Amino acid sequence: MGGGVADRLFVSTGAAGKLAFFGLLVWCWSAGTLPAKVVGAGAGDLLFGTLFVVWLYRSRGSHSEG
């Protein structure tokens, strides 16, 4: 199977989940329910979510529409 819509859907779902999870960590930390080190531990999700978004942005015109 080659790249295409299914790959983009999978990557975009992963990006949304990773960024939402990091946002939830930040929100809980700002509410005082989590220590700051937990937000630091979740920085990997922020990193990978951002990398996924960058990949989606750069590959937006490269998939075939046939």
Each domain of the chain, given as residue ranges in start order, spans: 12-58
In the predicted model, is pLDDT for residue 65 greater than 60?
no
Composition of the chain by helix, strand, coil, percent to 5: 75, 0, 25
pLDDT digits (tens, 9 = 90+) for 52-61: 999 999 988 7
Distance CA 53, CA 4 (A): 16
Q: Across the chain, what does the average pLDDT equal?
A: 89
In the predicted model, is pLDDT for residue 45 greater than 90?
yes
CA distances from 51 to 1, 14, 19, 28, 65 (A): 23, 11, 11, 24, 24
pLDDT digits (tens, 9 = 90+) for 13-40: 999 999 999 999 999 999 999 999 999 9
